[in-house]
Amino acid sequence: MPDINRNIPVSDATDPHPAQDTVINAELRRGQEYYIAETDETGLGAVDAVADESAPTSQWGEAWQYLRKRPMFWIAAILIVLAIALAAVPGLFTSVDPRACTLANSLHGPASGHPLGFDRQGCDILARTIYGARASVLVGVFSTLVVVIIGTIFGALAGFFGGFVDTLLSRLTDIFFAVPLVLAAIVVMQMFKEHRTIWTVVLVLAVFGWTNIARITRGAVMSVKNEEFVTAAKAVGASKFQILTKHILPNAAAPIIVYATVSLGTFIVAEATLSFLGIGLPSSVVSWGGDISAAQASLRTQPMVLFYPAIALGLTVLSFILMGDVVRDALDPKARKK
């Protein structure tokens, strides 16, 4: 048998005729085709390129894409819009004065122009239920706004500066956190027997209700302040105030927004509780808590008198809680995967 390897020239880096060696190898290996791939002119940059025709999606854009596909979001949004509409323009839903009461109509059933009947004082139940949204929603909204402002300031300063500032503000937060919200409101509201208004209730609830927001803000700021974009802002000479307000707080706002949404329902319940106990809004102000308290005497004979303001209160609080849950899932990718 002829030695094939004897006729194959060995090619190395100094071989001046590499093409001839290829031809010889192809001739000696009969029945085997030998191909040389053409040079690929397509660079790696073009292969690995990602289409960038669309604008990048932000966290809030992704959250909206998630929310718009959730029926629970739309149910909660419709209920919240309805509650706000009742509080803002109650005249669109009824033309009856909620304070126009006639004892002759006491506990009468539905009549023409009064589809829900009358309460013990002869007041139209539908009108009082509609107008009762104003006090409850106003207390909830403004209490939440004040609480978010106070809690965000305290929590942001504590989380950003740390050290002595963190210790001082955290201990102050713990002092207020140790006092139950409703109990503190009951005690303080006793001091304003002659001057109870919506703004008095808002002030009392805000003074004792900002601690949770402060704690959440502190934790969110501490988790964000060590990110790379904060280091980059420091490198370009941004001041501490600019870093905190323009870079850290916007990226730490998600948990604050979620808790603020749930807090709205909490403060509405707190106002109703105070009014139910007779130490919240005065009887001259139409509120769901006051109507529920007044309907206790008719619970056995006419339970529907209590049912209508109670269901309005329950649906409003439920809508804010549902909104907080679905917004939390939208802003938290980990919760979304569970």
pLDDT in tens, 38-97: 655 555 555 555 555 555 567 778 888 888 889 999 999 999 999 999 999 998 998 898
* pLDDT value, residue 50: 54
pLDDT-derived band at 314 (thresholds 50, 70, 90) equals very high
- The pLDDT tens digits for 159-185 are 999 899 999 999 999 999 998 898 999
* pLDDT value, residue 149: 95
Task: Provide the residue ranges of all domains of the chain, joining segments of one domain with +.
Answer: 59-90+117-337
Assigned fold of 59-90+117-337: MetI-like fold (1.10.3720)
- The pLDDT tens digits for 295-311 are 888 888 888 888 999 99
Q: What is the 3-state secondary structure (H, E, C) of the chain?
A: CCCHHHHCCCCCCCCCCHHHHHHHHHHHCCCCCCCCCCCCCCCHHHHHCCCCCCCCCCHHHHHHHHHCCCHHHHHHHHHHHHHHHHHHCHHHCCCCCCCCCCHHHCCCCCECCECCCECCCCCEHHHHHHHHHHHHHHHHHHHHHHHHHHHHHHHHHHHHHCHHHHHHHHHHHHHHHCCCHHHHHHHHHHHHCCCCCHHHHHHHHHHHHCHHHHHHHHHHHHHHCCCHHHHHHHHCCCCHHHHHHHHHHHHCHHHHHHHHHHHHHHHHHHHHHHHHCCCCCCCCCCCHHHHHHHHHHHCCCCCHHHHHHHHHHHHHHHHHHHHHHHHHHHHCHHHHHC
Check whether 338 has a pLDDT greater than 70.
Answer: no
